[in-house]
Amino acid sequence: MMTAHSHLNAANDSPAAHVVKWVDTTIVGASTALAIGTLTVMFASLMAEVIVRYLTNQGMGWPTEMPNILFPWLVMSGIVLAAQRGGHIAVTAVLGLLGKRGNRVLLVSHQLLIAATFFYLAWVGMDVIEITGSERYPVTGITAHWAYLSMIYGFVALGLTALTTLVHLLRADDPLTVRAHHIEEDV
């Protein structure tokens, strides 16, 4: 007789499970690298500005623009990581009133709505990128669209996270056991 655990392991060997795991792992890796990278660059550039200002009484200028460019990337990567780990706000009162089937329908429709919304926002955000391409930071000359591009990354990653969570919901015996903790088990 196949136990629930062995059934889950057998289901995790399917091609769909490998694709979902790869997508989730890639999103977590990229978001982690973005968070660490942006924090490191912001800290190093602002520290360099402080040191140069202390030693010369003059600033370099460009380090003050780095938070404007990089902070949105830090925020969006944190939001994506929270969604990947199920660390988002959820209202569970309704889920307690529904059975397995009702919960599955509600949670699946929720993930579809989330995916559609974030993919739509990414699409609309491309217009924002085009508009902000002419805005330049005065010292670095970097266009503002680099900061706004973080929103596109975040929206696409959140849409993909909703789709991978949807796959987990469809494959789970009990939909309430699927929070986005699947990435913690897979990584």
* pLDDT of residue 21 exceeding 90: no
Tens digits of residue pLDDT in 4-17: 333 344 456 788 88
Angle between helices 100-132 and 145-171 (to 10 degrees): 160
Confidence category of residue 90, pLDDT binned at 50, 70, 90: low
Confidence category of residue 87, pLDDT binned at 50, 70, 90: low
Where are the domains positioned within the chain?
16-181
Tens digits of residue pLDDT in 133-149: 788 888 888 888 888 88
Angle between helices 15-56 and 66-84 (to 10 degrees): 150
Task: Name the DSSP class of 65.
Answer: T
pLDDT at 88: 63
Take residue 61 and report the two structure tokens written for it: 């200028």
CA 99 from chain centre, in angstroms, equals 30
Taking the C-alpha atoms of residue 38 and residue 78, their distance in angstroms, rounded to an integer, is 11
Taking the C-alpha atoms of residue 42 and residue 142, their distance in angstroms, rounded to an integer, is 15
Are 169 and 111 in contact by the 8 Å Cβ rule? The answer is yes
Query: In the predicted model, what is the mean pLDDT of residues 71-97?
Result: 78
Percent of the chain's residues with pLDDT above 70: 83
pLDDT at 123: 93
Confidence category of residue 38, pLDDT binned at 50, 70, 90: very high
Are 84 and 27 in contact by the 8 Å Cβ rule? The answer is yes
Give the mean pLDDT of the chain: 80
* pLDDT of residue 57 exceeding 60: yes
Classify residue 24 by burial, with Cβ atoms within 10 Å: 0-12, 13-18, 19+. buried
